[in-house]
Structure 1
Amino acid sequence: MRANFIFSEVWIGLRRNLTMTIAVVITVAVGMAMLGVGLMINAQVGMMKGYWDDKVEVSVFLCTKGSAMESCKGKEVSNAQKEALDTLIKGTPGVKEVFFEDQSAAYQNFQKLYATNKALVSTAKVEDMPQSFRVKVADPNNYKSVVQALQGQPGVSQVLDQAQLVGPFFEMLDKLAFYALAVAIILVLAAALLIGNTVRLSAFNRRRETGIMRLVGASNLYIQLPFVMEGVIAGLIGGVFAAVILIVTKVFLFEELGRYLGDATAQLGWNDVAQTITITMIIGVVICVLASFVTLRRYLRV
């Protein structure tokens, strides 16, 4: 009988404040979805950084005949200079591996990279490709010392660190995650205020019934439970909608992002999505419960 009474009161409260309940559901859904997207972006950035840290190299391009670079002075790198550079690179602290790429290998990589641009591939020749050393460093965050040691060496045209190419992209993703979390916090606060207003209106509309319940000896928890349940139900429904948004985001955004920027090991997994959904739903319900209790303590007079 007590359970039937509580659920009937919950239904009455949700029906009387239908528009406010819908507003709470939408706000919770958007807020939890933004929070989940922020958490997923953080996880994806971490995976991609781990993936690319092992792939990032320092490319030491060698001089070609007629090169416009001042350090080359129009001369091609000699065999003696290549041998000296190979010894210098291998002896540089922080260097993990060294690979030499000749013009033929560089041309094959160029053809693979620009396979869709047939006009560009047809105009390029093997002798147009620069020779280079591909250097892997032991610590991807400590590449500057390697770059400084190789810049300006005889026969070196240009030293390029690939981390400089992917670095701005990861910075953009970090900022995107920060803004998503910031917006999520604002929306969560808005949801808490909406839940408080909904519970407050519901308590005001049923002040006579709650007064009678108090007179017949009902406990504060028994009186407050229907109002708290209303917030919990709204939070759960909002969490379900947020879960749907996160699943759609995973399929149409993160899978495409992982496909272009790494292999399967760099893609966000469904286990990560499920964990994010669980966290956001728990946070949403907890916020609804806390907002209901705080509002009832302040506004419910029994």
Structure 2
Amino acid sequence: MRLGLVLSEALTGLRRNASMVISVVLVTFVSLTFVGAAMLIQLQIGQMRDYWVDRAQVAVFMCRDDSTQTTCADGQADEEQLAAVADKLESPALAEIVRDVRFETRDEAYQNIIEQWGEEYVDFITAAQLNETYWVNLVDPTQTDVITEAFSGMAGVEEVTDQMQYLDPLFSALTVATYIAVAIAGLMLIAAVLLIATTIRLSAFARRKEIGIMRLVGASNRFIQTPFILEGVFAALLGSALASAAIFLGVEFGVNGYLRREVDFVTTWVDMSDAAVVVPVIVALGLVLAGVSASFAIRRWLRT
């Protein structure tokens, strides 16, 4: 097979169907950009979850004077109740679950709030309104239920809370955003496949006389099909290149240039190394879909 002749035929087809080719490039660009964005969002969710799961704590809040829980019938937790909780956290039964424990007094909790939220809260919050708290880090963060069951209902304990319960809605919302991006990308990819197939069939119809002559002189179906397949692959390659550029620019300016500076509570973000993993995937996906759809379209036309 003469490579120069095949490439010449493919470029001729691209010129003849310039408007359709531009449509294929744009649809492929948009669809693959959504695919890449969905992959980056999922990578971001994974990084955030790993970071926060490792740092999330279980808080054992001790009773205050004004606590209304039945376990706080005697009012503020006394030294005996505090010691009972501390002993249980250090007991052999929880030794393989508890990694470390930090006790926070009311005064410490008060100072932390003022440092975090500012001096304007001095007039609204007092140390007496806060709980003495045991902050528990676990060896396996998925075993928070063990701590909850062990200390809920214990005298002097007002409440046991898992910090991950406040983060789960965020992760759920991000996951939904990923699903939406994937759904949109899927629809756009279907549109790109149909456009590629239509472009190839129109190109084949426009050159039907040439195809007929090639078949009469004994040209193989493979020789006839290859230029048409290359047309679809070239168009998809251009769309993939634009999508790759969009992914890199999005990470550089959207993540590194804006989100890292504006969103303080997230400390781990996707970076160029993650984009470098995503880009080959979307390029390969675009080329495979284009090649398969173009091949199918021209084979059906040649059978007619």
The TM-score normalised by the length of structure 2 is 0.90
Which residue, 111, 117, 132 being the options, matches 2:114?
111
State the alpha-carbon separation in 2 of the partners of residues 121 and 20 from structure 1: 66
State the alpha-carbon separation in 2 of the partners of residues 257 and 58 from structure 1: 28
Is residue 283 of structure 2 the alignment partner of residue 281 of structure 1?
yes
CA distance 1:192–1:19, shift in 2 (3 Å): same
Q: CA deviation at 1:271?
A: 1.3
Is residue 256 of structure 2 the alignment partner of residue 249 of structure 1?
no
Which residue, 78, 96, 100 being the options, matches 1:97?
100
State the alpha-carbon separation in 2 of the partners of residues 79 and 18 from structure 1: 82
CA distance 1:252–1:147, shift in 2 (3 Å): farther
Which residue, 258, 261, 266 being the options, matches 1:262?
266
State the alpha-carbon separation in 1 of the partners of residues 152 and 255 from structure 2: 38
Give the AA of the match of 1:161.
Answer: D
Is residue 296 of structure 2 the alignment partner of residue 294 of structure 1?
yes
SS in 1 for 2:47: helix
Q: CA deviation at 1:183?
A: 2.4
Give the AA of the match of 1:299.
Answer: W
Q: CA deviation at 1:98?
A: 1.1
State the alpha-carbon separation in 2 of the partners of residues 218 and 121 from structure 1: 87
Q: What are the ranges of 5 or more consecutive residues in structure 1 without an aligned counterpart?
A: none
State the alpha-carbon separation in 2 of the partners of residues 96 and 164 from structure 1: 20
1:77-96 alignment runs, 5 A limit: 77-91=77-91, 92-93=93-94, 94-96=97-99
**Any conservation in 1 of the 2:27–2:189 contact (CA below 8 Å)?**
yes
Match of 2:170 in 1: 169
Match of 1:178 in 2: 179
SS in 1 for 2:90: helix
Q: CA deviation at 1:145?
A: 1.9
State the alpha-carbon separation in 2 of the partners of residues 225 and 113 from structure 1: 65
Give the AA of the match of 1:285.
Answer: L
Q: CA deviation at 1:165?
A: 0.4
Q: CA deviation at 1:57?
A: 0.5
Q: CA deviation at 1:186?
A: 2.3
State the alpha-carbon separation in 2 of the partners of residues 223 and 34 from structure 1: 34
**Any conservation in 2 of the 1:89–1:150 contact (CA below 8 Å)?**
no
Is residue 19 of structure 2 the alignment partner of residue 6 of structure 1?
no
Q: CA deviation at 1:68?
A: 4.4
Is residue 19 of structure 2 the alignment partner of residue 16 of structure 1?
no
State the alpha-carbon separation in 2 of the partners of residues 49 and 197 from structure 1: 44
**Any conservation in 1 of the 2:61–2:157 contact (CA below 8 Å)?**
yes
**Any conservation in 1 of the 2:225–2:299 contact (CA below 8 Å)?**
no
1:171-199: CA deviations, max 9, x gaps? 22222222322322222122111100000
CA distance 1:105–1:252, shift in 2 (3 Å): farther
State the alpha-carbon separation in 1 of the partners of residues 238 and 55 from structure 2: 43
Q: CA deviation at 1:74?
A: 7.1
Residues 280-289 or 129-138, more deviating: 129-138
Give the AA of the match of 1:80.
Answer: E
**Any conservation in 2 of the 1:200–1:300 contact (CA below 8 Å)?**
no
**Any conservation in 2 of the 1:192–1:288 contact (CA below 8 Å)?**
yes
Match of 1:144 in 2: 145
**Aligned residues with identical type, % of pairs:** 34
Is residue 242 of structure 2 the alignment partner of residue 234 of structure 1?
no
SS in 1 for 2:143: coil
Q: CA deviation at 1:69?
A: 4.3
State the alpha-carbon separation in 2 of the partners of residues 123 and 87 from structure 1: 34
State the alpha-carbon separation in 2 of the partners of residues 208 and 241 from structure 1: 35
CA distance 1:216–1:236, shift in 2 (3 Å): same
Q: CA deviation at 1:209?
A: 1.2
**Any conservation in 2 of the 1:236–1:281 contact (CA below 8 Å)?**
yes
Aligned pair count? 298
Q: CA deviation at 1:220?
A: 2.1
**Any conservation in 1 of the 2:114–2:121 contact (CA below 8 Å)?**
no
SS in 1 for 2:211: helix
The TM-score normalised by the length of structure 1 is 0.90
State the alpha-carbon separation in 2 of the partners of residues 223 and 295 from structure 1: 13
State the alpha-carbon separation in 1 of the partners of residues 252 and 153 from structure 2: 47
**Any conservation in 2 of the 1:67–1:74 contact (CA below 8 Å)?**
no
